[in-house]
Every structure is written in C-alpha cells, then in structure tokens.
Amino acid sequence: MTAVQSLVMSRVPENQRASTGASTNLARQFGMALGPALASAAWAASGYAASGMRAGVALAAALSVAVTVVLARTGAPPRAAAGSGEAPESVAGAGPGHGPRRPARSTTGEP
C-alpha cells in the first residue's frame, strides 16, 4: 500500500473502505496518465526547448505539492471507543445497523 493510500485509508470509516480504496486507485491511475501528458504538452508548447522541459517538471511538482497539502489538511473523522459498538458520528444513522441504538418507546403511555 502506498503512503498516500495508507493516509487516506486511516481516515475513513470501516464501512467506506472499499469505495475509498477504489477512488484512491482511480485517482492514482488518472494522475499517472495526466501528469506525463501535461509535462509533455508544456515541453511541446515550447518547441521542445530545455525551458519547456523545466516548465513541465515544475508543473508536475506543483501539482504534487498541491495534492499533498489537500490530503494533509483533511481531518480524521471521530472514532468510537474500541469495543463500544457505536459508529463514529460521521456514519451514525447512515442505514440499518449504524449508529447507537435508541430505547424502544412504550406503547402503554408509560415512560
């Protein structure tokens, strides 16, 4: 697992890990295709001069730094205490079986 994927997966509720892993892999593949294409386009736009190659590398580096900053600034969701049986607040109420249980209401009028 890559460092970025480890960072992302450590900040996701357990029930969203499959989607998160798939999204992370998609973003990585997209970046591996788009990065060289943008660098090559910058180089070609300069007429294949050395300055264009430097611009392409600088563009790739700037995009890498921007993505790293965005990932580092995202906060981790609150986690439930181990063994408490409660879901973190970010997924509470997300569907059947998620979140804390509420006591059943009495039908006899008694609290």
**Domain total in the chain:** 1
Q: Is residue 41 part of a domain?
A: yes
Q: Is residue 46 part of a domain?
A: yes
Q: Is residue 42 part of a domain?
A: yes
Pairwise CA distance, residues 19 & 90, whole Å: 16
Q: Does the pLDDT of residue 56 top 70, yes or no?
A: yes
Q: Is residue 64 part of a domain?
A: yes
Q: What is the largest CA-CA distance in the chain?
A: 84
pLDDT for res 29: 92
Give yes or no for a contact between 13 and 91, defined as CB atoms under 8 angstroms apart.
Answer: yes
Q: Which of 52, 50, 51 is nearest to 42 (CA)?
A: 52
Q: Is residue 32 part of a domain?
A: yes
Q: Is residue 66 part of a domain?
A: yes
Mean pLDDT of the chain: 76
SS3 56: helix
pLDDT tens digit sequence for 39-52: 889 889 989 999 99
The confidence band for 85, taking pLDDT boundaries of 50, 70 and 90, is low
Query: What tokens appear for 6 in the block?
Result: 């480890």
Q: What is the pTM of this model?
A: 0.52
